[in-house]
């Protein structure tokens, strides 16, 4: 099934594992503007993310691009320098924070399949995803400082993904990192030769889709909730989450399947 929005396409396909789960592919599709993060694109992307989140058959969400070389060029520069009132621009910026929060709060794994350059606000999108797989040829970075801006909002995501000195270099110099450099800095999970990228994405996503959707969702929400807690509070919270996991049918089934050396049959309960 394929549905095409004006700026984002939405496609759901079976996971290639023989399991019941499906994968939702959300593709940025404004190539003439290098997938600039306009208000309309952000609104459509947010709506489609929520659609995938509400589809119980979808186990994994993948973000990618239809542009042959650019995942997204980031925010719409024309909108930054236009004559709208500052308060109007401020309200519009909420779309970015809303999107970043949506990506982290959805109880399903979200993979950024970076098949082109990931720049500026789009780096925030990638880092708000759970996993990032990148073509070997792409670049990642936040060049805002080169046009008299600064990556204020995505700095919160950058500092959670890499060390302070690397983060400072990215934001203060505007230098773009190669995909291998980004992986070394902790900004990318996996770098794949361009010719192998599509197959690698499908294989990775199929593996993730084969896990228990219930425990995956519980785990993702627990990571988000505990990440910024003091250690003692985090340990108490995570102990409670583990105890809750012990009550699920999926944990029982997973242990039984492991002992019986067979694939688990998840019940999502």
pLDDT per residue as tens digits for the range 45-56: 999 999 999 999
Looking at the domain 2-209, which fold is it? Answer: 2-enoyl-CoA Hydratase; Chain A, domain 1 (3.90.226)
Radius of gyration from C-alpha coordinates of the chain: 19
Distances from the Cα of 63 to the Cα of 10, 116, 157, angstroms: 10, 12, 17
Nearest partner of 78 among 37, 135, 49, judged by Cα: 37
pTM: 0.91
**Is pLDDT larger for residue 262 or for residue 268?**
262
Annotated catalytic residue 144: yes
3-state secondary structure of 171: helix
pLDDT value, residue 269: 77
Residues 215-239 pLDDT 10s: 999 999 999 999 999 999 999 999 9
Residues 25-84 pLDDT 10s: 999 999 999 999 999 999 999 999 999 999 999 999 999 999 989 999 998 766 666 666
Instruction: Tell me the average pLDDT of the chain.
Output: 91
Residue of 6, 16, 144, 169 marked catalytic: 144
For the chain, which residues make up each domain, given as ranges? 2-209, 213-260
Q: Which residues contact 232 (CB under 8 A, 6 or more apart)?
A: none
pLDDT value, residue 4: 46
């Amino acid at each position: 099934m394929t549905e095409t929005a004006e700026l984002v396409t939405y496609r759901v396909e079976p996971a290639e594992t023989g399991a019941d789960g499906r994968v939702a592919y959300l593709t940025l599709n404004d190539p003439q503007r290098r997938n600039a993060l306009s208000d309309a694109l952000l609104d459509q992307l947010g709506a489609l993310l929520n659609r995938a989140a509400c589809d119980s058959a979808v186990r994994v969400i993948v973000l990618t691009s239809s542009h042959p070389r650019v995942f997204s060029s980031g925010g719409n520069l024309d909108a930054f320098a236009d004559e709208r009132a500052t308060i109007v621009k401020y309200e519009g910026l909420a779309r970015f924070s809303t999107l970043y929060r949506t990506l982290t709060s959805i109880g399903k794994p979200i993979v950024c399949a970076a098949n082109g350059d990931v720049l500026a606000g789009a780096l925030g999108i990638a880092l708000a995803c759970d996993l990032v797989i990148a073509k070997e040829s792409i670049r990642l970075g936040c060049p805002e400082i080169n046009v008299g801006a600064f990556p204020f909002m995505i700095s919160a995501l950058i500092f959670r993904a890499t060390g302070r000195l690397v983060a400072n270099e990215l934001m203060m110099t505007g230098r773009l990192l190669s995909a291998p450099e980004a992986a070394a800095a902790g900004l990318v999970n996996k770098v794949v030769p361009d010719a192998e990228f599509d197959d690698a994405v499908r294989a990775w996503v199929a593996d993730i889709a084969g896990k228990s959707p219930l425990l995956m969702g519980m785990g993702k929400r627990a990571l988000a909730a505990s990440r910024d807690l003091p250690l003692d509070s985090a340990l108490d919270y995570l102990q409670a989450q583990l105890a809750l996991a012990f009550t699920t049918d999926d944990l029982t089934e997973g242990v039984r399947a492991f002992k019986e050396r067979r694939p688990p049959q998840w019940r999502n309960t």
